[in-house]
Structure 1
Amino acid sequence: MTTHEREGERPPLGRSLLESEAMTSDWAPTYEAVPRSAFLPVLIWPHDMETGRSVAVSKASDPATWQEYADSNVPIVTQWDDGEHSGMEPGDESTSSASMPSVVFSMLHDLDVQPGSRVLEVGTGTGWNAALLAHRLGSVNVVTVEVDEAVAASARAALERFGLRAKVVHGDGFRGHPEGAPYDRVIATCGLRSIPFAWVEQTRPGGVIVAPWGTHFSHQDAVARLVVSPDGEQASGLFTGPVEFMKLRSQRRPPVVHAEYVPGRVADGDETSTKITEEEFVREKFDAHRFALGLRVPDCCQVVAYKRDGARPVWFYGLSDRSWACAMFRDGAEARVWQGGPRRLWDEVEEAHRWWVGHGEPDHSRFGLTVTSDGHQAWLDKPSDRWPLTAA
């Protein structure tokens, strides 16, 4: 029995999750019974959402701080650089983590499990999410797939220690796990740029797929809640809100090499201007603007540079060719634009921006996604008004 149970109180974070409606009351007993701390390693790197930095905390040397972070609504990095990292300092790229509890329970709410539901999870991580599902549904009904062998082994051991022996599979979650199909629910705990049709095939008609999804336009994701059609030929549904997850390893985008797009001077590109202002265009991280542009301008990534001396360049790079564009926003002046390559990327971006504004600046929850064996289509408000997510 925990201290909070003895005192007849919910843990403070539990109360906060309920009050903010990130966690629904039906998940509260599971939250109290399955602490995140039971699935964290001795050395963790809690992520500061304000600064974007992670600092090492060791349970061995500072157990109080370690426990405080374990019980806080912050994401915690548990692996760097696909396991090639060592030491206390953060590595170059975070590659496994324990997500924010508010995000975990919000996605579990979207999953809408029912008694006896069979669930496939893609991205085991620490094993905490699988443990929560196993506590709610029974271990026999939960299969979780992890691509990293060491991470899978650690999660399996943590689940066994806790007495919730969900099936942990070391493998490529992009394939799902056909041996255990069909599933009533599929949930991914990694960011996707393509939802495999294999997941649709392995889900019962009427079943639900919950996955963080986005385009290569930015790192931003939104949680897609898709329902498999009665004939099993597609899965379709609305997004429930913005998130940002580590990407499925096979879908990470290689870094853009600027010199491969702009080998000479920017001024060598075709020059125009735009009346769109920096304030209109460069928005907060989780604003729907960037997500919407990614849906309307396929095969393109955006890089927003730091502002210096009153000027901020925003770059766009084609991912299927070497098209590029740069919009230079400058205080007190109309923005100048340069473009090069087969596509006129800024023209496409500006058209997408005006489309978004013209439709009332819709947030994530008005957008939807349909997945078929032929690919992905996005839509606004109505699935019938959908468009393909590939460049013409």
Structure 2
Amino acid sequence: MPYAWLEQTRPGGRILTPWVGGGDGRGHLLALDVDDTGTATGRFVGDSAFMTLTGHDDPTWTGPCTERPDRDSAVDPAELADPTLLSVLGIVLPDVRIATHVDEAGHLRAQAWGPDATYAMAVSDPDGDHPAWTWGPHDLWAHVETAAAWWHTAGRPGSGDFVYTVTSQRQFVTFGGADGPRWDVPV
């Protein structure tokens, strides 16, 4: 969000804007109230899912993976088809795109793309195994697993449970108040 919008809004004014982080790229509607210090805080008040927001093309699907999996996923990739979890992953992993689809064998496949040429994929297998593959400079799937585990531990919150803050120096999202977890948003 451009900080100039805050500078052009009177204290007490409200900014209502679409916002897209990571996740599946559908985005959220964000309502921010500007205070007299030049800071804006607010919540995600809905989805902006009519169509993918401009500049967020759908990733390309890969074909069947013939390499041996790196490991078994700690999270069932089928969980990533949950729109609430995908929405939250878009907030806590704002620069990671995640998509799911059913492959030619009938298994749900989840894929994740990072901005630094990282890529990960996991498959929900009916026998209970969830093979996972990772490519690139770090284990992107570990970030997805950690965020999904946090979501479960936090009681499966929805996007409206998060607070978005914009200052002249940074933007970040918090959960559970000032002492709760905080995620910086790339600007």
CA distance in 2, matches of 1:307, 1:257: 14
Partner of residue 128, structure 2: 333
Q: Is there any run of 5+ residues in structure 1 with no aligned partner, and where?
A: 1-194
State how 1:121-160 maps to structure 2 within 5 Å: none
Q: Among 51, 57, 70, which residue is 1:271 paired with?
A: 70
1:212·1:244 contact (CA, 8 Å) conserved in 2? no
Larger Rg, first or second structure (1 or 2): 1
The correspondence of residues 1-392 of structure 1 with structure 2, limited to 5 A, is 195-232=1-38, 234-246=39-51, 249=54, 252-256=55-59, 267=67, 271-283=70-82, 287-319=83-115, 321-383=116-178, 385=180, 386-390=182-186
Residue deviations 1:35-94 (CA, integer Å, cap 9, x gap): xxxxxxxxxxxxxxxxxxxxxxxxxxxxxxxxxxxxxxxxxxxxxxxxxxxxxxxxxxxx
Amino-acid identity (%): 28
Paired residues of 2:22 and 2:89 also in contact (CA < 8 A): no
**Preserved CA contact (<8 Å) 1:310 1:331:** no
Q: Which deviations, in whole Å up to 9, do the C-alpha atoms of 1:287-328 show, x marking residues without a partner?
A: 321111122223211121224333122111112x11110101
Alignment correspondent of 1:39? none
Matched letter for residue 289 of structure 1? L
Whether contact under 8 Å (2:78, 2:124) holds in the other structure is no
CA distance in 2, matches of 1:224, 1:207: 14
Q: Which runs of 5+ in 2 are unaligned?
A: none
**Contact 1:242–1:364 (CA<8 Å) still a contact in 2?**
no
Match of 1:244, as an amino acid?
A
For residues 250-309 of structure 1, the C-alpha deviation after alignment (integer angstroms, 9 at most, x for no partner) is xx13454567xx9xx6517x61002423443322xxx32111112222321112122433
Aligned-pair distance for 1:219? 2.2
Q: 1:338, CA displacement in angstroms?
A: 0.5
Q: Cα–Cα, structure 1 residues 307 and 256, in superposed 2: closer, same or farther, change >3 Å? A: closer
RMSD value, Cα? 2.5
Residue 67 of structure 2 aligns to which amino acid in structure 1? A
One-letter amino acid of the structure 2 residue matched with residue 312 of structure 1: L
SS of residue paired to 2:144: helix
Residue pair 1:300, 1:316 contacting (<8 A) in 2 also: yes
Count of matched residue pairs: 185
Q: Kindly indicate whether structure 1 or structure 2 has the higher relative contact order, using CA contacts under 8 Å at least 6 residues apart.
A: 2
Per-residue deviation, 1:230: 1.2
CA displacement at 1:384 relative to structure 2: 5.2
Change (3 A) 1:362 1:240: same
Q: What one-letter code is carried by the residue in structure 1 that aligns with 2:42? A: G
Contact 1:212-1:245 at 8 Å conserved across structures? no
- Whether the aligned pair in 2 keeps the contact of 1:221 and 1:245 (CA below 8 Å) is no
* Aligned counterparts of 2:158 and 2:151: Cα–Cα separation in 1: 10
CA offsets per residue over residues 124-146 of structure 1, 9 Å max, x none? Answer: xxxxxxxxxxxxxxxxxxxxxxx
Contact 1:310/1:330 (8 A) holds in 2: no
**Could you tell me which amino acid in structure 2 is paired with residue 223 of structure 1?**
L
Which amino acid in structure 1 is aligned with residue 75 of structure 2?
I
Contact 1:314 1:327 in 2 (8 A): yes
Secondary structure of 1:209's counterpart equals: strand
**Partner residue in 2 for 1:106:** none
* 1:143-188 deviation line (CA, Å, top 9, x unaligned): xxxxxxxxxxxxxxxxxxxxxxxxxxxxxxxxxxxxxxxxxxxxxx
Q: Give deviations 1:193-235, integer Å, cap 9, x for gaps.
A: xx21111111001111112212133222222111112122x21
Partners of 1:292 and 1:254 in 2: CA distance: 20
Relative to its length, the structure with more helix (as a share) is 1
